[in-house]
Amino acid sequence: MPHIPALGQAITNCDFLEIAQRSVLITFLVQDHVYWLLKTGIFKFQKYSAIQWHRRNLRFITLSHVLNFSLCVRDIWRIQAKQAAKDAKYSGSEEAEKKAEKDIYDNKRMMVRYTLTFFQMLHVSRVKEMDDWYVGLMGVMSSYIDASKQW
């Protein structure tokens, strides 16, 4: 789990937003493994069926999307502050400014993805049921964003 060392680094840096995001994500991943064990019949819970456990667990990934969105906003603010302070890494040359603008664009794009997947998870976890057609459209758009990183 690559998130555990990142959590340790966030704790070392006292980065509470990153700590919260990593903790929630690790919780989701561990509980997702429990879901698999429930689904295969290795585990049995009296109070939860496998699908109930899964829907409950999806609330963690929904929260993770909110925290990821917040991290993107913070990254954009930090880049913009460094540009305003004339940091050489983000301003001063055409190459540095292009990189800064690309980083801002990538963060904004991920913010759109996190928003789309947030609503998808609300629907799938049954926190808020919506029409399948527009949830499906959100899935297509978020998948496009994910796939376009590979192209």
State the maximum Cα–Cα separation within the chain, in Å, rounded to a whole number.
63
Question: Which residues touch 89 (CB under 8 Å, ≥6 apart)?
Answer: 82, 96, 99
Domains of the chain: which residue ranges?
A: 3-148
Question: Which residues touch 29 (CB under 8 Å, ≥6 apart)?
Answer: 1, 3
- pTM recorded for the entire structure: 0.88
* CA separation for the pair 22, 3 (Å, rounded): 6
pLDDT along the chain (151 residues), means of 10: 90 96 94 92 87 90 96 97 91 91 96 97 91 93 92 78
